Amino acid sequence: MNWSKVKITPLNLVVALCFIYAMYCLLGFEKSTSGVSNISKVIYTLVLALVLFLTDIIFRRFIDNNKWIWLIQGSFILLITIMMIIFQKV
């Protein structure tokens, strides 16, 4: 494997955190107080990781500069986070 082709991007880090959270839920460390089962949390998290992984591939295909990838993906994550907070309040 050619390690010079490997790019660490913000969406890669978020996908890794999604997998860590899914394993956290699968191992039973997550205490469900909202009535949502751990299995549904795991499925939602894995679907989210898949969507973010595909989005990362699309970003990398169209943007070659590593600095621009970090800037655009960081803005994308910030926008999605703000939208999730707004939709939870409504």
Q: What was the pLDDT predicted at 86?
A: 92
Q: How many domains does the chain have?
A: 1
Q: What was the pLDDT predicted at 26?
A: 87
User: CA 39, CA 37: separation in Å to the nearest integer?
Assistant: 5
To the nearest whole percent, how much of the chain has pLDDT over 70?
94
Task: Give residue 22's domain range.
Answer: 3-89
Neighbours of 74 (CB within 10 A): 13
User: Is 72 a residue whose pLDDT tops 90?
Assistant: yes
User: 14-56: per-residue pLDDT in tens?
Assistant: 999 999 989 988 888 777 667 778 888 889 889 999 999 999 9
List % helix, strand, coil for the chain (3-state, nearest 5). 75, 0, 25
